[in-house]
Structure 1
Amino acid sequence: MNNRVTPLLPGVLSAGLIAALVLSAISALISQATELSPLQIWRDPYLRHVTGFSFYQALLSTLLSIIPAIPTAYALSRRRFPGRELLLRLFAMTLVLPVLVAVFGLLTIYGKSGLLAELFKAADQSLPFSIYGLNGILLAHVFLNFPLATRLLLQSLEGIPFEQHKLATHLGIRGWNKFRFIAWPRLRQQLPHVVGLIFMLCFTSFAVIMSLGGGPKATTIELAIYQALRYDFDLAGGAILALWQMLICSGLVLFTQRFAKPLSTLSGSTSQQQQDQFDHWHAKAWDWLWISFALLLVLPPLLAVVGAGLNSKLPTLLTEPALWQAIANSLKIASLSCMAALIGGVSILLTSRHWRLQQKKLPADGIELLGTIILVTPGLVLSTGIFLLLRQYTDVFAAAFWVIVGVNALMALPYVIKTLSQPMLHVAQQYNPLCQSLGMYGLSRLRLVEWRALRKPIAQALAIGFVLSLGDLGAIALFGSQDFQTLPLYLFQLLGSYQMDAAAVAALLLLLLSLGLFTLVEKILIRTP
């Protein structure tokens, strides 16, 4: 009986704590929204505009990310070249790349004083566009989400069974027909998942809009919440907007799940087996066009961050106590957040795994959904509710550190659950009979079986959670102050005061910390015996 109860306890406690926190935050929001009515949104022209712009920029960003990702993923599935794995690794890095680093890199290339502007100036021309406003928002979202979409679609294409490629070759199916009959059915299964994820990321985007938008014409719901609370101290207005965003996000998740289909689990083909023997020069040219596009989109901003950061301000900024204090705060918050997310995620997955092995799919799906609730309740919305909740009992800014740790842990939790869900289930399916026959439970099973089998996905989950928290601007933007800063907030303030050389150094440090620690955490845990 004890063995039946034990796996349920950690997950139920973790899920209950998350549910209590979210419900308390929502209750605090509702208590401030004295005139809670959806009609209030439509009566206010500004709120209507903010809602409309949020949908408009998210839709355009998603289309501009997904449409080129399809031919790029197809090209990468057919071509093998030196540096391909490095390019895919670079694509993976954009998932954890701090948004402000990406913004700074884009400003260095496409800004008013950027490299492209200098080239136009040398030709006695002016830059034909401004990176601020909708143009910059779309550019930043494509830079961040196009690589993610490409990797997800490529994984789907690499799951096509080799027998299908072999049959297509035997029947002489090539070119457009091969894409139509072999690749597209697989892509069509994955597209609803990818579209839903990227639309949600763009719809709830905060740092990009705050850095490159923010004017009356380029404000989203998320930024309007921040402005209402931080600048106007309009608690009721911020609460109504936060509830409105949560309602929209919930609808979007349900809408996406309605069209999403489960992916086939057939074994995929190896990279060499997918090569088409009917490989004409125009197919190669088409593929290399999209691979070159990917390189030109992703590489220049990252190289620009490195080049711009190596300037005369580097020695001066490295002597600033405020910089090192911001770095120390970021590392503390990231360390605690990723550990809390891992503990919470593993606890929930132990319970969901136990139920799945007993064929109780509904409660297993339900408890995992609670763990990913941050996808429906964006970080700034949750931060708003916690802010309103705590201000009744204590000085919110005095407790800012722990609030940010908690919010960042919840933000990392969906990634932990998505990364570990299938590996943990497979380990249990494979080793449960053996462990039961040997009487192996508790810490001995954890050390000898679970840790050895799950070390790599655990390292990935920890690394992603760590770097996501390290580069987050959402919660710290609401709770931060001159006395309490993280490196992203420090960088944002330098950008806001147009100290571009100092900002370049801070962006370089944030980039090096993110990518270096991401790799270090993975390597240490994977190599640990």
Structure 2
Amino acid sequence: MAAIETVSGADAALRRRMGVAAAGLVLGFCLLPLALLPVLTGIPMASPVALLADPYLRGVVGFTLWQAFLSTLLAVALGVPLALALDRLRFPGRGLLLRLFFLPQALPVLVGALGIVTVFGRNGVVAEALVLAGLPHPSIYGLPGILVAHVFFNMPLVARLVLGGLSGVPAESWKLAGQMSLSRWATFRIVELPVLRRTLGPAAGLVFMLCATSFTLVLVLGGGPGATTLEVAIYQSLRYDFDPARAVALSVLQVGLVALILLPSLGWGSADDAGFGLARASRRFDRPSRAGRLFDIGLTACAVAFLLAPLLAILWSGLRADLGRIVLDPAFQDAAVRSLSIALLASALGLFLSTGLALAASATRGGGRLFLALSGSLVLVVPPIVVGAGWFLTLRAFGDVARFAPAIVVAGNAILVVPYATRILSPELAAVSRRHGRLARGLGLSGFARLRHVEWPALRRPLALAGAFGMAVSLGDLGVVALFGNSDLVTLPYLLLQRMGSYRSTDAEGIALLLALLCLGLILLAERGLGGRRTPI
């Protein structure tokens, strides 16, 4: 309600129109090809229900949901205690540690998968340690590898979202808990548990959708038909079997399943309760016991070791490659230039759409706000591989698909940026509206003047972070380019996948390191240089 009262009628109407336009572009790009397919191509639509009569496809659907459930359960079960431990602990370098927890989301999925294989694979450090201990080593491929990879990427996400909620606890609550000398359990029950009730629903829903729509990790670590998800089945239907009707029906089935999960999760909490950035440290006055502090330190150390191991493995194996030869390779140079061009365009377009949705959400409530939230999260319901399959089949009616490939890859990556960018921008817009909205309205600031003097100073750093994060996500994406990639459209992840497929593992490790450094460098540049300092109104 506060956001509505602090935005003038004219500004609110303009922002709503911007949001409707942005939502229309997102909805059109994601849903239009699936709607046009029967008309343009004449492809008969196979019934998703009929497909479920196939025992293999029933197994694919069951495995998709089962691995997503287990991944979410593990990520939440490990991420929540980790967030509570980090909120209790105070030590030099805490901010750097929280930035480490941001890295898995900025790291290309294919690079992270390669690092996990290096650590937990047959020749990895974990395997050697188990052999020395006389214990059997389970295969990293199949369900175990998928679970390990999903925990690596999503446990830090859960921890950060919960930390964001804990950072919003009023200082008076911590003071009162300290004055009353509440025990660890009492502090958890009275102060921390209400935050978990607000944040865990959206966090678990987000992680479940990310795991249910996971493509690259399952493609690399799936290990065969027994560990295949719907997205990989869609990719196989087009790339190997070329069965368009089956691919479309699987796409509809995938969208329906994920939508059934997304819609209930929207009522579990607000995304504003937990921002996507780094949480500020709460000033706590409780006195943890020695045993409790040792538990928190041990848990944090284990989590840091788990996250650092694949990152260090990528660094170590990449440095052993001939990086000079790889950088001078024309194939690498062409892929790098193409990837950076696509990432720059996709990030700019994604920021444009996200800013429109975030500004509209700050001036909307009720059903309109729910519509904007659904539009911003649509790529979680209609994942890139489904969107790419729809456009791949639709554009075949107009000739050679390769002609349209660059534009579709840019647009697909831009849509991929939107959920993350809106989660970075929306809390900042809500906060600046609460702080300065009434004053701006009293001073008669509206239109461009309000954006310049009120929103822009607060959004400079979040926009820089969202833009760099969007470029990193686009640089590492394999979803759309996996379908549209060809000899004339090779990005760095596609080149990395080719090197892995041709068993040129040394080159693959070098490319993985260079791609990881490029993505992480973008994030550091945004945090240190591009964001500037916030200036009050």
Structure 1-normalised TM-score?
A: 0.91
Aligned to 2:4: none
Q: Is the 8 A contact 2:166 2:282 kept in 1?
A: no
C-alpha distance in 2, partners of 1:183/1:433?
32
What SS does the corresponding residue of 2:224 show, helix, strand or coil? coil
C-alpha distance in 2, partners of 1:275/1:299?
31
Q: 1:395 aligns with which of 372, 380, 400?
A: 400
Q: Is the 8 A contact 1:28 1:388 kept in 2?
A: no
Aligned to 2:326: 317
Deviations 1:384-435 (CA, angstroms, capped at 9, x unpaired): 1111221111321221111000011111112222222232344455555655
C-alpha distance in 2, partners of 1:450/1:490?
41
Aligned to 1:451: 456
Q: Is the 8 A contact 2:64 2:212 kept in 1?
A: yes
Please report the RMSD computed on the Cα atoms of aligned residues, expressed in angstroms: 2.6
Identity across matched positions, percent: 40
User: Aligned residue pairs: how many?
Assistant: 520
Q: Is the 8 A contact 1:368 1:417 kept in 2?
A: no
* 1:25 has 2:30 as partner: no
C-alpha distance in 2, partners of 1:196/1:2?
35
Structure 1 residue 29, shift from structure 2 partner: 4.8
Aligned to 1:80: 90
Q: Within 5 Å, give how 1:23-422 maps onto structure 2.
A: 23-29=31-37, 34-120=44-130, 123=132, 128-260=137-269, 271=281, 273-277=283-287, 279-354=288-363, 356=364, 360-422=365-427
C-alpha distance in 2, partners of 1:460/1:519?
9
Letter in 1 for 2:328: T
Q: Which moved more, 1:211-220 or 1:37-46?
A: 37-46
C-alpha distance in 2, partners of 1:61/1:69?
12
Letter in 1 for 2:222: G
Q: Cα 1:367–1:66, aligned 2, differ >3 Å: closer, same or farther?
A: closer
Structure 1 residue 440, shift from structure 2 partner: 5.1
Q: Cα 1:166–1:335, aligned 2, differ >3 Å: closer, same or farther?
A: same
Deviations 1:287-346 (CA, angstroms, capped at 9, x unpaired): 122111111110111011111111142222222100111111110111000100111222
Aligned to 1:487: 492
C-alpha distance in 1, partners of 2:361/2:425?
12
Structure 1 residue 528, shift from structure 2 partner: 8.0
Structure 2-normalised TM-score?
A: 0.90
Q: 1:10 aligns with which of 9, 18, 23?
A: 18
Letter in 2 for 1:487: L
Q: Is the 8 A contact 1:134 1:213 kept in 2?
A: yes
What SS does the corresponding residue of 2:102 show, helix, strand or coil? helix
C-alpha distance in 1, partners of 2:189/2:438?
44
Q: Cα 1:282–1:225, aligned 2, differ >3 Å: closer, same or farther?
A: same
Structure 1 residue 270, shift from structure 2 partner: 7.7
Letter in 2 for 1:89: R
Q: Which moved more, 1:22-31 or 1:425-434?
A: 425-434
Structure 1 residue 451, shift from structure 2 partner: 2.2
What SS does the corresponding residue of 1:59 show, helix, strand or coil? helix
Structure 1 residue 125, shift from structure 2 partner: 5.1
Q: Is the 8 A contact 2:68 2:208 kept in 1?
A: yes
Structure 1 residue 28, shift from structure 2 partner: 3.6
C-alpha distance in 2, partners of 1:271/1:320?
46
Q: 1:521 aligns with which of 508, 522, 526?
A: 526
Q: Cα 1:10–1:331, aligned 2, differ >3 Å: closer, same or farther?
A: same
Q: Is the 8 A contact 1:33 1:240 kept in 2?
A: no
Letter in 2 for 1:417: T
Q: Is the 8 A contact 1:33 1:237 kept in 2?
A: no
Deviations 1:229-271 (CA, angstroms, capped at 9, x unpaired): 1111110000000000000111100122244468779xxx984
Q: Which moved more, 1:298-307 or 1:169-178?
A: 169-178
Q: Cα 1:180–1:143, aligned 2, differ >3 Å: closer, same or farther?
A: same
C-alpha distance in 1, partners of 2:75/2:204?
9
Where structure 2 has 5 or more consecutive residues not aligned to the other structure, the ranges are 1-8
What SS does the corresponding residue of 1:273 show, helix, strand or coil? coil
Q: Is the 8 A contact 2:154 2:207 kept in 1?
A: yes
Q: Is the 8 A contact 1:79 1:275 kept in 2?
A: no
Where structure 1 has 5 or more consecutive residues not aligned to the other structure, the ranges are none
Q: Within 5 Å, give how 1:435-514 maps onto structure 2.
A: 442-514=447-519
C-alpha distance in 2, partners of 1:235/1:98?
29
What SS does the corresponding residue of 1:485 show, helix, strand or coil? coil
Letter in 2 for 1:147: P
Q: Is the 8 A contact 1:374 1:411 kept in 2?
A: yes
Q: Cα 1:402–1:163, aligned 2, differ >3 Å: closer, same or farther?
A: same
Structure 1 residue 489, shift from structure 2 partner: 1.0
C-alpha distance in 2, partners of 1:186/1:341?
31
Structure 1 residue 205, shift from structure 2 partner: 0.3
